Amino acid sequence: MGKTSVSIFRQKKFWLPFLSAALVMLIGLMIFIVPSPYLSSQLYETTAGQFRQVDVTPDVTVEMDANSAMTVANSVPPSVELIRGNVYFNGNGNAVDTIKLEVIMGQAYFQDNGASYSLETTKDGGSIAVSQGQLEMRIGDQTRLVSAGQRVDFDSFKVVDESSIVGLDIASWRL
């Protein structure tokens, strides 16, 4: 009987340090297995009468009109979401290693390769006017290229209107 109580007593002393060491090793292993969050985003806003310029990538700057808001996500490719207002993307289309930029505006998605264009939010959707270059637009089940000199108005599901536009009418608030 004495041997049994001693062996049980020794097992209890063994399990607590063993489980503690195993827990510490498991937590240490999880630090290397679980990736740290890599996606962070920054909110940029302007108020009435305020204009702002943001460098999204080394090749792309964004000029924000008054009462505008957008987020820039640190992802690959970089991602910009226009929340409200008017913005002008000024891309360097001549750069050899131009990074593709993804722009999200409601249900519309744009793939940019260094074009210069204006995006404007409206009550039911938005509009895009391209100054130079071209970009791909996806909305609903439609995909199209929007080239320099074109203006496209859209709602949440489809293109509503398409027209030609001259450079002075693109983001006239910049003048």
* pTM summary value: 0.73
Q: Give the chain's length.
A: 175
- Quick one: the chain helix, strand, coil %, rounded to 5? 20, 45, 35
Instruction: Report the CATH architecture of 41-174.
Output: Sandwich (2.60)
> In whole angstroms, what is the distance from residue 121 CA to residue 83 CA?
8
In the 8-state DSSP scheme, what is residue 167? G
> In whole angstroms, what is the distance from residue 160 CA to residue 157 CA?
9
Instruction: Break the chain into its structural domains and give their ranges.
Output: 1-34, 41-174
- What Å distances lie between residue 156 and 3, 104, 109, 114, 139, CA to CA? 78, 12, 11, 25, 7
> In whole angstroms, what is the distance from residue 139 CA to residue 111 CA?
12
The token duo for 144 is 């199209």
Per-residue pLDDT 10s for the chain (175 aa) are 445 555 555 666 777 788 888 999 998 888 878 776 666 888 999 998 899 999 888 888 899 999 999 999 888 788 899 999 999 998 876 655 556 789 999 889 999 877 889 999 988 889 999 998 889 999 988 898 999 899 999 988 888 899 998 877 787 777 6
> Residue 60's CB: how many other CB atoms inside 10 A?
23
